[in-house]
Structure 1
């Protein structure tokens, strides 16, 4: 799914690292692909993917939607709502039907899990 992201920061030491904002949610992302030079403060179309294995997924009784970075890594602890169709609401919708294929018992519930990183692919506009 395509989103509009604002680039908030670029890491001078790690060229694949950026802080972007989607729906006023700021997070550090691994830039998996960009066909052009990106600039701080500019808006770009992006595709977001949760990269790596879903770790320690459980139903969350907190009923919250947020993402929390794990230290200085690209990893995140994610709290979201998993819809019946496998889409995940984390303040914006992650559409990856295969990602939650093994967890149909969590559909329609709030979930918490860890992910290795959040990838961004900057699209041609």
Structure 2
């Protein structure tokens, strides 16, 4: 069975992928439009970082229906589990403790150290 869409290169009808047994592949623009996204940038970024399943044919990014469904599941936030409050990390030392800790002491400039060494010990 052939579809009505012509092959761009030859002008001949292309058989449906289902008839051949190949999966239907969707471009990022089509998937972004189906998701209601303004552009495909998020999909391309998520695929590059391997956060969502995808297929690369050459350099072209494509998605199967199963990958689109799995991406939706991966991005779904479950409603039945209450969100865990994030714990605030405690500082190891407080500002008051730092003030009580050892104070920095300025180094004696090198020229003064050299002058003190050249004069020798004082009696």
Higher RCO by CA contacts (8 Å cutoff, separation 6 or greater): 1
Band of TM-score, shorter chain: under 0.3
Give the number of the structure whose residues are more often strand, by fraction: 1
Q: TM-score, normalised by structure 1?
A: 0.21
